[in-house]
Structure 1
Amino acid sequence: MTQQNFTKLTIGIVLILSTWACNPNANEPVQEGIDKELEKVLIAASSGKGKEFYMLPASIDFNKIPQDPKNPITADKVELGKLLFHETGLGMTPQKASSYQTYSCATCHHSKAGFQACVPQGMGEGGTGFGVSGETRTIKSDYKATEVDVQPIRTPSAMNAAYQPNMLWNGQFGATHFNENTQASWTKGTPKENNKFGFQGIETQAIAGQGVHRLGFNPNFFFNRPLYRDLYAKSFDLKTLNDPVQSVINVGLAIAAYERTLLSNEAAFQRWLKGEYSALSESQKQGAILFFGKAGCYQCHNGPSLANMEFHALGMSNLTEGSYGRNVVVNAGSEKAEHKGRGGFTGKAADMHKFKVPQLYNLKDSPFYGHGASFTTIESVIAYKNAAVPQNKNVPSSQLAKEFKPLQLTQDEIQNLTSFIKEGLYDPNLKRYVPQALPSGLAFPNNDAQSRKDLGF
């Protein structure tokens, strides 16, 4: 090598090192034109807040997770709630002894279904089987349809619920936010009465759900299991285990604390928001640009969970009794209050047929969509909204949301939008929210004989 070439090589190395020193992020993915376009529509859709407006916090960053001031999140409380949420041992008050300790909160909200049920109608006591992702759960042979614990509406997701101060499709749980001054609807002797405790929706639902879904409480169940006893003592006054009201409240508060940490913060879109621009495919980026732009999805699906606390009528069909493929729906008659949406809770004519906007992460884990499970693919929901022709003839056109109008999307645009919602908003690692085992040693999320076989317990 000549002296001249050596000098040129030396200068080149110095320049490279100098550039690296001034730009320590040189190895990070480069933001391309489509990324800049997506960032631009995010800024517009968030009224100038930009990418941070859509970022979900880490599940252990309690200070950034929305929480009820009356139920501060702690690590011990979350751990207690995680165990109790999956604890089939709490299935202590079934109508039939054959179902004793065979079901849990997670029966209808489990990780393999994106914390949904993977069936059109979640089934607690009186159900049997699990399959791979909950898809084969059905009615036990010794149960009549009227004896099974089911709801007349599709089970909503527990994912990203921290951003919902009022819970359920009609928002009936929670004493705050939209439910302020709705005391007249907190009917005594019904689950809605639990709003009287003054908690937000997640806490109220977790308290009320114990009675609704035939879960029981026995102080000895905790006292005889050191892990439960210790976690309870670190989260609440241990003496309250002997208080039949406060103990149920505390169990609910622990479950709610855990539920608030169920955040899909490892989804590809979340990674893109943090600068990993290769996390989304080209099609998913195009779909996101449509979502936050031309398609107008963001008008209702906005913020970190891509939902808001509004209620809209989109004319979707209600859950009805009968066959949904391999699944059978029962106790879902047309006169159920749940089929009236927000109006079924408030009684107001203006609220009839209006349902809460759902969050959109991990939808592909459970193939039923809409409050009535009337869709079985994400693409079909998008096509429905694109055409804007209501399914439910009982919903007056005057009630339909102003946003429910033809979107004029092409088939390619529908495909890109589907790709973003189905894959870009998918967190593949929800098993991180599941305990390895329960202090009771029982199977979970279900503990009936067929489920144990399906689950390999």
Structure 2
Amino acid sequence: MKRSVVLFAAVVLLFLISCKHDELSQTDKILHNLIPDKTRYILPDEKNLAEIPQFPVNPLTPEKVELGKKIFFDPIFANEAKRYDMKYTYTCSTCHVVESGFRAGRMQGIADGGYGFGNKGEARIKYPYYANDSIDAQGARPLAQLNVAYVENTFWSGAFGSEGKNSGLDHIFGVHIPLTEVNKLGLPALESQNIEGLGVHRQQFSKKIVEDAGYKELFDKALPDLPEEERYTRKGASFAISAFLRQLLTTQAPFQLWLKGDEDAMTDQQKKGAALFFGKAGCTGCHYEKNLGSMKFEALGVDDLYEHGGLNTGPNDARNLGRAFFTNRPEDKFKFRTPQLYNMGDSGPYFHGGSIETLEGVIKYFNTGKKQNQRVPDSQLSSFIRPLGLTDEEVADLTEFVKNGLRDPNLKRYKPDSVPSGLCFPNNDPSSKVDMGCN
């Protein structure tokens, strides 16, 4: 009798497991049907440089990537700060913090003129001895520097790069945005933006500076094809930084592992959220490229940065116009580039103006389909701003997919243990050093 009871219990358990397996398999089946071609979204291995999108003018090499990483994190090149005591205190990674998904850990990035770090950049504030108009602060919520190898034209406005959406727009290079004069060099977007960005962010390069910083041999090994008159300049530094950025790929995210065949990489809730993303919610109307972003410019009707505490910006800031900031075309007003979505849960707030605090809030915004910014005319508003009809459970499922299904948990693999200067990083001001426990 006892043996029969045990046997019956085992059969019931197997039945329950089988039912659960069938339920999970059904969720997987739906998702597989929605994404029949997995290769469309699989990112290449970051170590396989040959498979990463790049350009003949700046081919990826291990030496170049390594140099770019060092420059990105080393405060030694923060040599043009407005105040002497703020020299060598900030880096590229001040506003693109690893722990915050390579975005600023707060609503606005502050390089020169800021101090403090917190745990992941959230505690950085304006240095009291700087006027608001003298700090180096971004006029929009900083975009993540992840998966940018799949971005044809950088900035929220898509202003940099001579190809892609900017092909045929040579006549406005340098006109409405003086910094875009660099597009006339015919370089890719990343390389162009970083040449100008190093200047904007008060970092200077020369042969003497590079030698004094102990970087000359690194530059020589990484950039042998650049003539010496260009190698130790912002152009050379930009080529190295751009190479580093191109291989910042979120290959360890659960969704990436699922795409590559690991059926258990995502939870059932994440799979349900993915099915909504690629199905009912219509997210792929804009987020359809390999990095789940695109070069589509849409007016989503959200607030601007100045309305949420942004410094060195205001209602007349031309950057609030989005694509029209670059093109000056009325039809481009308030339209911003579609960002990639990996590791977005690592740091809020969201949209170009940092106007919504949480990812759940973003999804609820789209689900409601009602504009936030009354200055954006309905005639300009994206057709995607309409009620989606998602239930509370579906909102939770979609949030879980974007927040954790698309989260690479090991971005620290892209962060060096130290930099050649020996300085603290990503920030080197006294307050940040205390926050980071760096002496």
Alignment of 1:263-282 (within 5 A): 263-282=249-268
Match of 1:415 among 396, 405, 415: 396
- 8 A Cα contact 2:308 2:353, kept in partner: no
Distance 2:285 2:255 in 1: 18
Does the 8 Å contact 2:34/2:278 carry over to 1?
Answer: yes
Aligned-pair CA distance for 1:335: 1.0
The runs of 5 or more residues in structure 1 that have no matched partner are 1-29, 44-49, 324-328
Q: 1:58 aligns with which of 32, 45, 62?
A: 45
User: Which of 287, 295, 301 matches 1:301?
Assistant: 287
Distance 1:169 1:245 in 2: 29
Q: Report the number of matched residues.
A: 415
One-letter amino acid of the counterpart of residue 320, structure 2 = H
Q: Which amino acid in structure 2 is aligned with residue 215 of structure 1?
A: Q
> In 2, are the aligned partners of 1:321 and 1:332 still within 8 Å (CA)?
no
Unaligned runs of 5+ in 2: 1-22
Question: Could you tell me which residue of structure 2 aligns to residue 33 of structure 1?
Answer: 26
Aligned-pair CA distance for 1:33: 2.4
Match of 1:114 in 2: 101
Partner of 2:429: 448
Indicate how the Cα distance of structure 1 residues 190 and 244 shifts in structure 2: closer, same or farther if over 3 A, else same.
farther
How far apart are the structure 2 equivalents of 1:265 and 1:131?
A: 27
Deviations along 1:341-393, one digit per CA (max 9) or x if unpaired, are: 00111000111100000110101111110000001100110010011100011
User: Which of 203, 207, 210 is the aligned partner of 1:215?
Assistant: 203
Aligned sequence identity (%): 41
CA distance in 1, matches of 2:370, 2:56: 43
Q: Give me the whole-angstrom Cα distance separating, in 1, the residues matched to 2:155 and 2:400.
A: 27
In structure 2, what is the Cα distance between the partners aligned to 1:299 and 1:69?
31
Q: Distance in 2 between matches of 1:239 and 1:303?
A: 32
Q: TM-score, normalised on structure 1?
A: 0.88
Q: Pick from 357, 361, 364: which aligns with 1:376? A: 357
Aligned to 1:147, which of 131, 134, 155? 134
Deviations 1:88-146 (A, max 9, x none): 11101111112111111111012011000011111010000000000000011211111
Counterpart residue number, 2:18: none
Alignment partner of 2:329 out of 348, 362, 366: 348
Deviation of 1:85 (Å): 0.8
Determine the C-alpha separation between the residues in 2 that align with 1:365 and 1:181. Answer: 37
Taking the aligned partners of 1:420 and 1:295, their CA distance within structure 2 comes to: 12
Candidates 293, 299, 302, aligned match of 1:313: 299
Aligned residue number for residue 182 of structure 2: 194
Distance 1:450 1:66 in 2: 39
Q: For 1:33-432, what aligned pairs fall within 5 Å after superposition?
A: 33-43=26-36, 50-187=37-174, 190-224=178-212, 228-237=215-224, 240-241=227-228, 243=229, 247-320=233-306, 323=309, 329-432=310-413
Residue in 2 that maps onto 1:27: none
For the residue of structure 1 that corresponds to 2:257, the secondary structure is: helix
Distance 1:278 1:181 in 2: 47
Tell me, yes or no, if the aligned pair for 2:206 and 2:232 is still in contact at 8 Å.
Answer: no
Residue 76 of structure 1 aligns to a residue whose secondary structure is helix
Superposed CA offset, 1:31-73 (max 9, x none): 8222121011012xxxxxx111111111111121111221111
The verdict on how the C-alpha distance between 1:182 and 1:109 changes in structure 2, with shifts beyond 3 A counting, is same
User: 1: CA distance between counterparts of 2:410 and 2:77?
Assistant: 26
Q: 1:118·1:368 contact (CA, 8 Å) conserved in 2? A: no
| 1:21 corresponds to | none
Once residues 84 and 423 of structure 1 are traced to their aligned partners in structure 2, the CA distance between those partners, rounded to angstroms, is 30
| Cα contact 1:267–1:426 (8 A) shared by 2 | yes
Q: What residue in structure 1 maps to residue 8 of structure 2?
A: none
Instruction: Quote how far apart the aligned CAs of 1:168 are.
Output: 0.6
Q: What one-letter code is carried by the residue in structure 2 that aligns with 1:168?
A: F
Name the CA distance, whole Å, in 1 between partners of 2:29 and 2:157.
Answer: 38
- CA 1:282/1:161 → structure 2, altered by over 3 Å: closer, same or farther? same
Code of the residue aligned with 1:94 in structure 2: it is A
TM-score for the superposition, normalised by structure 2: 0.91
Any conservation in 1 of the 2:301–2:374 contact (CA below 8 Å)?
Answer: yes
Structure-2 change in CA distance of 1:239 and 1:348 (3 Å):
closer
Partner SS, residue 166 of structure 1? coil
1:321 offset after TM fit, Å?
A: 5.2
> What secondary structure, in the 3-state scheme, does the structure 2 residue paired with 1:32 have?
helix
Cα distance in 2 for partners of 1:314, 1:321 equals: 16
Structure 1 residues 318 and 237, CA gap change in structure 2 (3 angstroms)? same
Which aligned segments of 4 or more residues in structure 1 are displaced greater than 6 angstroms? none
Give SS of 1:209's match.
helix
Against the structure 1 CA distance between its residues 343 and 225, is the aligned structure 2 distance closer, same or farther, given a 3 Å change threshold? closer
- Whole-Å separation in 1 of the counterparts to 2:295 and 2:132: 33
3-state DSSP class of the match of 2:233? helix
CA distance in 1, matches of 2:363, 2:32: 23
